[in-house]
Structure 1
Amino acid sequence: MSHRDPSRRILDEFGASDEIFGIEIDYSLNDLKLFIPAGVVCMFILLATPQWLNIGGILLAIGVLLLTGAFVFVTPSHKSPQQWLADMIMFSRAEHTKTAVAETPAKQTDSLTQVERFLPISGLVERTDGDLVAALRVSPANLSLATDEEWEAIADSFGSVLNALDFDIQIHSTARPVEPERITSGYRERLEDPDVVENPALGDIIRVYQEKFPAEFESRGICVREYHILIPVSIREVQLADRGALAKLCDLPMIGGCIRVLGAESTQLTYEEIRERQKEELERRLRAVESGIRDLEGCDAERVSADELSALLEEYWSGERTHYGPSAGQRNERVRSVPVVTGDDSGRY
């Protein structure tokens, strides 16, 4: 981590500082990967330029390097330059107008979520590109009374946990308005306790809390903050798991694409074997993140069910959560694990 001001108590950046020839830089080596294809283009320009236009070729090559450097400089801090460039290309090629019903799937709004289905037994989400995604809910430590030194220590510990991971994760933070039912449910149950029934004054105090708290929280705009860590495993990661150094080359811009075209991702694994390996890898990653979070003082992590994942996805896209009524014989409200229509032993429905 660098450029942190502990008094702000906001984590801005994670990652160890990189050095080139002993000089510390603010960019990681991953940010500078875009200079590899830029260098290839410059070399091609110099070799293809006639000798009598050599100065022009040199100036053009310098221009390519300067444009690449400017692009790296303006890239948002949460993305690498090649990821940002890929996002812009995908956005320019995507449909800009979507409706609930359209002639092609690309023009439908449900294509935005990229969710193929939920797996309630495994607690996973399957994306349309074949990725499996799991989530952890993180309970952070209470640092409201912590000193700057304590904040600095927990920030360094958290950064060490993230830097030790050998896979990508996404940290998702949500702020939902406090639900009155969650505030008052405990007070309603408390009113039935024998000690409250025998003490009318205590019952009056609890009723005041039950009636006044929801309105007070709503007027102040108090929200419940929740933190989740999303962990994906792609089909490509499983296919490249046994490729060693070749797998790392596939992450390079342009060069990686050529290697994949030449068959670096070819595999003899069946669809079922790929799915099984994805789940095994996802389980390993979940255990690694759980262990790291629980090693932080006062922090805890628990796995999120597919039912809760569907609710988080709805909140992300619509800004609100729909509450469904309980279904007969169903523990989950959103994601069914039992078919809507079932048959008996005789085959009748």
Structure 2
Amino acid sequence: MSDNTITDNTGRSHQISRRVLDAVGADDEIMGVQLHVSLEDLKLFVPVGFIAVLTFLIISSLTTDLGQYAIIGPIIGGIIAVVLLLVTAAIIYIAPRNLQAPHKWLVSIAQYYRAPETMTVFSNDPHQNSASLTNVGKIRAESAAIQRADDRSLVAGVSVTPANMALATDSEWNSMANNFRDTLDAIEFPLQIHSSSRAIDPDRIAGVYTDRLNDPDVQAIPALQEMVETYRDELPREFEQRGTSIRQYQILVEVSELDVQIDSHGRLSKLADLPGIGIFLSEILGVTSGMSAADIEREQVQELRERLLTVRRAINSLDGCSASILTADELADLVEEHWSGERTHYADTDATTDRRFNEFPVVTVGSAEQRP
């Protein structure tokens, strides 16, 4: 927790505590020993360790015929090996934890420097087209998912409504935060927590008090009417000055083509979880799955639905929390707001909803004009 200072109307300062959940997830254990690195970190450390040992042996063998100077080879090889291990340890330490693995951070850095400096929406080259930045290949309205352009993975999400902890004590807040962390840790498949904010519409705030002024009890009591009018006039102005926004939370899950290909091998799919060599075994299992493109896509949709239901049940099990599966419209809103900071409103045919995807058919029976 971090301390902040606020000043009231009298000019006095007060210290308040801002309660923030620092991290979600726990370090892995091997034979009951708690580690400060995860098995995902070993996917980078184990190959580098192998390269370091191989480098030491090669350099040492090059100086075996130098007589009294043969010791130079092992010393140089040892220094290089130690430097490689220290650099790898430093990368693991400073890598952002939200990417789940240090090698993904290195890949993202390489992709950034390889990306072109100038992009346009009119280029035929995918690498020069700015639309490729979003990595959105297709929005699947029927399965409420986004299909990524690069690897055809399906991504969907669950909207989380947290419990109201405004009046909770520190112990109650910590208990809820720990329960939330433990609940997500119990989920076996990868997930990502996404937080977005939307500015509060002042007219929406004032509308509640405007309607309240028409109630008979308010009109019968002048003091109550004056208080409601004050709220109606002052609250929107106060919120607009502060720039207050509504914080929203989503949990995103994905299912790649490789996921369903590996799962088709049954118990052999557990080999993909092995540290270091798991990434190579997973590729072999994917190639040997023998699944057609239609089978893979069908299994992706089914597995994605099961993962969404698992996350929703887990969140709903927390006291005071609720969750609902995001629609395709809501997913498209998140992508647009992430890249542009704005949301485009699309009026529906009956002007009662705001939808991006209209399921009404283009041609219906009787809609076509018959001509002689």
- For residue 44 of structure 2, what is the aligned residue in structure 1? 34
- For residue 77 of structure 1, what is the aligned residue in structure 2? 97
Describe the superposition over 1:246-286 as per-residue Cα deviations: whole angstroms up to 9, x where unpaired: 54554678845544565643333222221221121112111
The RMSD of aligned alpha carbons is 3.1
Q: Which runs of 5+ in 2 are unaligned?
A: 4-16, 64-72
- For residue 91 of structure 1, what is the aligned residue in structure 2? 112
Which amino acid in the other structure matches residue 97 of structure 1? Answer: T
Q: 2:153, 2:308 → 1: CA distance?
A: 15
- For residue 14 of structure 1, what is the aligned residue in structure 2? 24
Deviation at 1:310, TM superposition (A): 1.2
1:302 aligns with 2:298: no
Q: 1:19, 1:5 → 2: CA distance?
A: 30
- For residue 131 of structure 2, what is the aligned residue in structure 1? 110
Deviation at 1:192, TM superposition (A): 6.1
Which amino acid in the other structure matches residue 56 of structure 1? Answer: I
Farther off after superposition, 166-175 or 16-25? 16-25
Farther off after superposition, 257-266 or 53-62? 257-266
Q: 1:231, 1:146 → 2: CA distance?
A: 30
TM-score by length of 2: 0.80
Structure 1 residues 301 and 245: alpha-carbon distance in aligned structure 2, compared to 1, 3 A threshold:
same
Q: 1:157, 1:278 → 2: CA distance?
A: 30
User: Is the 1:37–1:253 contact (alpha carbons within 8 Å) kept by the matching residues of 2?
Assistant: no
Farther off after superposition, 193-202 or 116-125? 193-202
Q: 2:211, 2:287 → 1: CA distance?
A: 58
- For residue 336 of structure 2, what is the aligned residue in structure 1? 314
User: Is the 2:162–2:320 contact (alpha carbons within 8 Å) kept by the matching residues of 1?
Assistant: yes
Farther off after superposition, 69-78 or 201-210? 201-210
Q: Which is bigger in relative contact order (C-alpha 8 A, separation at least 6)?
A: 1
- For residue 61 of structure 1, what is the aligned residue in structure 2? 81
Q: 1:36, 1:19 → 2: CA distance?
A: 17
Greater gyration radius: 2
- For residue 236 of structure 1, what is the aligned residue in structure 2? 258
Q: Which runs of 5+ in 1 are unaligned?
A: none
Deviation at 1:76, TM superposition (A): 1.9
- For residue 276 of structure 1, what is the aligned residue in structure 2? 298
Q: 1:309, 1:200 → 2: CA distance?
A: 47
Q: 1:239, 1:111 → 2: CA distance?
A: 26
TM-score by length of 1: 0.85
What is the SS of the residue equivalent to 2:47?
A: helix
Q: 1:252, 1:99 → 2: CA distance?
A: 42
Percent of aligned pairs with the same residue? 39
Q: 1:296, 1:254 → 2: CA distance?
A: 36
Deviation at 1:23, TM superposition (A): 5.9
Structure 1 residues 300 and 262: alpha-carbon distance in aligned structure 2, compared to 1, 3 A threshold:
closer
Matches within 5 A, 1:96-245: 96-128=117-149, 129-187=151-209, 189-190=211-212, 206=228, 209-244=231-266
What is the SS of the residue equivalent to 1:240?
A: helix
User: Is the 1:121–1:337 contact (alpha carbons within 8 Å) kept by the matching residues of 2?
Assistant: no
Q: What count of residue pairs does the alignment treat as equivalent?
A: 345
User: Is the 2:162–2:322 contact (alpha carbons within 8 Å) kept by the matching residues of 1?
Assistant: yes
- For residue 56 of structure 2, what is the aligned residue in structure 1? 46
Describe the superposition over 1:216-259 as per-residue Cα deviations: whole angstroms up to 9, x where unpaired: 21012211111111111111101111335654554678845544
Structure 1 residues 193 and 250: alpha-carbon distance in aligned structure 2, compared to 1, 3 A threshold:
same
User: Is the 2:346–2:354 contact (alpha carbons within 8 Å) kept by the matching residues of 1?
Assistant: no
Structure 1 residues 196 and 145: alpha-carbon distance in aligned structure 2, compared to 1, 3 A threshold:
closer
Structure 1 residues 147 and 197: alpha-carbon distance in aligned structure 2, compared to 1, 3 A threshold:
closer
Structure 1 residues 258 and 135: alpha-carbon distance in aligned structure 2, compared to 1, 3 A threshold:
closer
Q: 1:162, 1:97 → 2: CA distance?
A: 40
Q: 1:259, 1:253 → 2: CA distance?
A: 10
